[in-house]
Amino acid sequence: MNVYTKKELTLLETPFDDIRRKMDLLLLLGQLLMENGANTNQILRDMLRAAAYMGINENLVHVHISYTTIMLNISDDSHAYTVFRKTLHHGVNMTTLSVLSKLTWKALEQSFTLDEFEKRLRTIAETPPRYPHGLLNIAAGFACGAFALLFGGTILSAWVTTLCAIIGFFVRTLCNRWEVNIYISIMAAAFAATTSAYLLHTLFASDAMIYAMISCTLFMIPGVPLINAVDDMINNHIMAGMTRAMNTFLIVGSMTVGITMALYFDRLSNFTSLSILPGQLYPLQLAASVVGAIGFSIIFNIPYRLLPLVGMGGLIAVAIRNTLLVYLGFSLPGATFLATAIISICALKASRYFRTAAPVLSIPSVIPLIPGVLLYRFLFGIVTINTLDTESLLHALRSGVTGITTIICIAIGVSIPHILASRYLDRAKHQRLLHLLQDRGAGHP
């Protein structure tokens, strides 16, 4: 543990001492959280904790968060400072989120100087992703192949799905490297993956290949933005949640356009009415849930040591949901909600032992429950509305309602620990924070 000099301790106990630097670091922390997939509650919580470490009382801190901008104001009766920071891109990096959350606590526990805090924060900002692009490509392919099995496909259709998803992921990577518009990139990747699946579907002439056509683009399903959008709105961060929801809608819409373009000449396949619910519980589905959860965990860049734990979480989530669907007659939203809630409570408990944030464990574990097919089945129905009869249109609308309801259930399920025990959790963290602040200067010269 470091020992503060008098000058360093004064800096960290006087709110407006070197305020410009402090605000710059707080905004950098918020920017990194936003760009790597944190929800608004997590951003606010970590920024306020870092401000407390810097000697700035939370009553002096005012933060406004939109999807592209973070505004920070620190003021009292005689001072007022306001700064903005743009969030340049949005992705998912669970390792970064976990490390940033730990940093704010370590700064207090290990008595970091402001120089050391800044050095570590900027090191995190410059750290490249944990997994190389090649491994991400393979992980995306296997995750989509697992979805094909979860939907009832065969081993052959899973391998075809894996190949087609790898092709689609490669196309999206090229588009991103060439700085193509994000939605055009998604459209191109969806077109490439679905075209490959359609060509292989005609080659093998097997009905099971249709599962490849509906699963090969699911690596692009914005599961984390979907969950964050609902989480923000139910926690009264309406504008941020609505913006996330609109971005999610545009991503799914871009996927739908790419898929529609690929299937324009296909007059035989009709995946809009294909059932994606299990008829019975197969061991192969449980194995697929493990592969799917680990595949998405790699895409989300979670720490290596947590991959087996998340794989087990995915297995438990799918096993609970499918058991409720098949044997107890639950609806898809109801079964998904219970499975997600159980996983979230287990993740909260496990996060203490594995020293990580609970969402790092819970979100990748429940991603295999995302009803992505229902969402873009709905949009596909809207795009082809001129060719739909009344029954098909109603089916598309029903898919959309069921899919959105299921997403809301997943988001609420992930938030269950905080919803049920928010006062206890917040009070415990606040007491811990006060204790560390009181002890910080005890050993200074």
Q: Could you report the per-residue pLDDT of 383-408, keeping only the tens digit for each?
A: 677 777 777 778 778 888 888 898 88
Query: What confidence tens digit (pLDDT) does each residue in 322-335 have?
Result: 889 888 888 889 99
Burial of 130 (0-12, 13-18, 19+ CB in 10 A): middle
Sole residue written with tokens 């992505």: 372
pLDDT value at residue 269: 55
Q: Quick one: which of 327, 365, 333 has its CA closest to 346?
A: 365
Distance of alpha carbon 181 from alpha carbon 160, whole angstroms: 28
Residue percentage of the chain with pLDDT more than 90: 41
**In contact, 87 and 34? CB cutoff 8 Å:** yes
Q: How many CA atoms within 13 Å lie on the side-chain side of 273?
A: 10
Q: What is the average pLDDT across 346-367?
A: 87
Among 38-47, 51-60, 185-194, 409-418, the least confident range: 409-418
Q: Count of H helices and E strands in the chain?
A: 17, 3
**In contact, 175 and 189? CB cutoff 8 Å:** yes
The mean of the pLDDT values for the chain is 85
Q: 439 pLDDT exceeds 80?
A: no
CA 424 to chain centre: 25
pLDDT value at residue 340: 94
Q: 266 pLDDT exceeds 70?
A: no
Q: 281 pLDDT exceeds 80?
A: no
**In contact, 160 and 230? CB cutoff 8 Å:** no
pLDDT value at residue 215: 86
Question: Burial letters for 69-79: b for 16+ Cβ neighbours within 10 Å, e otherwise?
Answer: ebebebeeeee
Q: 431 pLDDT exceeds 90?
A: no
pTM, to two decimals: 0.88
Query: What confidence tens digit (pLDDT) does each residue in 200-229 have?
Result: 877 776 666 777 888 899 899 888 888 888
Pull the structure tokens for residue 84. Answer: 């903005």
How many residues are present in the chain?
445
pLDDT value at residue 264: 73
Query: What confidence tens digit (pLDDT) does each residue in 145-175 have?
Result: 998 888 778 888 899 999 999 999 999 999 9
